[in-house]
């Protein structure tokens, strides 16, 4: 179908016959995301609020299906690029966000701090220098004022405002560290996401980015787990995967929408979470509070 035929098809969304409208909607959904620009054009040229609302719902559904498909592709492809996974999450609310823009933003952060981190520095000194650059020079800080905001799960928003929850600050810190060739990885602690510095020489310690990069030890984690009356699982001490991180971001997003009473978005995000789950990944949401 050419553009004129597609426009004629879209115009039938305004038909008085309900069956015609349902058939047209089904046809448009089958055509997928390619229909979005034409739908947007028709929305702009219409003065019928009912017709516009129908188009808005279709555009949202088409964009949402694109998010699901991207997430499945990312997961099935090995979830190799963490930034790409976080970008896919962000496109749920910012469908026009480009991955290239996020890459450029992070590259700029790297250039802002790379002179402060020397390869021959002691690992503790590297992290202290990274902390100073991240919190003082780049001015990242905990979003304590709006801790449960969905924006904390949107990497573009955290990059823009320099405010985020623990996992959002950790992933940006970690992505910059990776660019600096620092062996810093994410760790899935209950109720709190932290980082670990773990090199090939046996050096390992932990970093609480939400507490301005506080450095702590395995013994501190032992005490923390004991306070929670939990078993000392290996996952509480060792690096987690990119897919683990994206799943946790999505769980946080679900909880944020639950607190806002937005049940429709809760259902949608749960479907995105299903697309990135591993077999047997049945950790209840209550085990991952907004951290």
Question: What does the pLDDT read at residue 289?
Answer: 44
pLDDT of residue 281: 55
Task: Identify the pLDDT of residue 147.
Answer: 82
- Average pLDDT on 255-268 reads 94
Is residue 85 within 8 A of residue 246, CB to CB? The reply is yes
Give the C-alpha separation, 204 to 96, whole Å.
Answer: 40
Q: Is the Cα dihedral 206, 86, 78, 272 positive or negative? A: positive
Cβ(64)–Cβ(269) below 8 Å: no
Q: Is pLDDT at 15 greater than 70 in this prediction? A: no
Q: Which residue has the higher pLDDT, 194 or 46?
A: 194
pLDDT (tens digit per residue) in 75-106: 999 999 999 999 999 999 999 999 999 999 99
Task: Report the alpha-carbon distance of residue 208 to residue 196 in Å, rounded.
Answer: 9
Cβ-contact 154, 89 below 8 angstroms: yes
Mean pLDDT of the chain: 89
DSSP bridge partners of 185: 196
The fraction of the chain above a pLDDT of 90, given in percent, is: 71
Four-residue CA torsion sign, 143, 147, 152, 153:
positive
**Are the CB atoms for 215 and 127 separated by under 8 Å?**
yes
Residue 235 and residue 104: Cα distance in Å, rounded?
32
Q: Above pLDDT 70, what percent of the chain?
A: 94
Q: What are the DSSP E strand ranges found in 32-167?
A: 141-142, 163-164
Largest CA distance in the chain: 73
Inform me whether the pLDDT recorded for 277 exceeds 80: yes
pLDDT tens column, 118-142: 999 999 999 999 999 999 999 999 9
Whole-structure pTM value: 0.86
What is the Cα–Cα distance from 224 to 101, expressed in whole angstroms? 38
**C-alpha–C-alpha distance, residues 163 and 169, integer Å:** 8
Tokens representing residue 158 in the block? 């955290």
For residue 134, give the DSSP letter: I
Interatomic CA distance for residues 283 and 260, integer angstroms: 22
Write the CB contacts of 66 (distance below 8 Å, at least 6 apart in sequence): 32, 33, 91, 95
- Give the tens place of pLDDT for each residue, 142-196: 998 888 899 999 999 999 999 999 999 999 999 999 999 999 999 999 999 999 9
Instruction: Give the mean model confidence (pLDDT) for residues 206-226.
Output: 96
């Amino acid at each position: 179908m050419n553009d004129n035929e597609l426009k004629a098809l879209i115009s039938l969304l305004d038909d008085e016959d309900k069956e015609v409208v349902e058939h047209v909607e089904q046809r448009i959904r089958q055509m997928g995301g390619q229909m979005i620009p034409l739908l947007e054009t028709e929305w702009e040229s219409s003065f019928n609020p009912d017709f516009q609302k129908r188009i808005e719902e279709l555009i949202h559904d088409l964009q949402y299906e694109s998010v699901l498909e991207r997430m499945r592709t990312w997961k099935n492809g090995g979830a190799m690029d963490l930034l790409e996974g976080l970008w896919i999450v962000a496109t749920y609310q910012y469908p026009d966000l480009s991955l290239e823009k996020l890459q450029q933003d992070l590259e700029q952060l790297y250039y802002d701090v790379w002179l402060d981190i020397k390869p021959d520095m002691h690992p503790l000194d590297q992290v202290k220098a990274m902390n100073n650059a991240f919190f003082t020079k780049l001015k990242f800080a905990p979003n304590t004022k709006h801790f449960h905001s969905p924006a904390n799960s949107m990497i573009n928003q955290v990059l823009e405002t320099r405010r985020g929850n623990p996992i959002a600050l950790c992933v940006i810190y970690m992505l910059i560290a990776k660019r600096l060739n620092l062996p810093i990885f994410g760790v899935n602690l209950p109720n709190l996401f932290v980082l670990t510095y773990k090199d090939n020489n046996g050096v390992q310690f932990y970093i609480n980015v939400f507490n301005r990069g506080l450095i702590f030890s395995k013994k501190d984690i032992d005490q923390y787990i004991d306070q929670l009356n939990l078993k000392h699982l290996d996952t509480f001490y060792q690096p987690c995967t990119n897919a683990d991180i994206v799943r946790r971001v999505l769980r946080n997003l679900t909880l944020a929408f639950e607190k806002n009473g937005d049940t429709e978005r809760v259902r949608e995000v749960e479907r995105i979470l299903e697309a990135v789950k591993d077999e047997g990944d049945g950790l209840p949401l209550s085990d991952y509070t907004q951290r």
